[in-house]
Amino acid sequence: MKGNIAKPAVKIIQAFVTLAQTKVIASFFHFALRNTPIAIIKPPIGANHIHG
């Protein structure tokens, strides 16, 4: 009986953790995009020197 109760509880906890991680990542990207759009669009300066 314990195993039957624990399995759905674990799945619910995993779903909440996944949702929390998604919200954190989404808010981080929103913050990053809003504050540093140029840094994301332009490639790093070092990349040009490696290929050049």
In sequence order, the 6+-apart residues with CB closer than 8 A to the CB of 32 are 40
Give the per-residue pLDDT at 44. Answer: 59
Give the per-residue pLDDT at 50. Answer: 53
Distance CA 47, CA 52 (A): 9
Reported as a single tens digit per residue, the pLDDT across 1-52 is: 666 777 888 999 999 999 999 999 888 888 877 776 565 556 656 555 555 4
Give the per-residue pLDDT at 17. Answer: 92
Give the per-residue pLDDT at 16. Answer: 92
Cβ atoms of residues 1 and 9 within 8 Å:
no
Radius of gyration of the chain from Cα atoms? 20
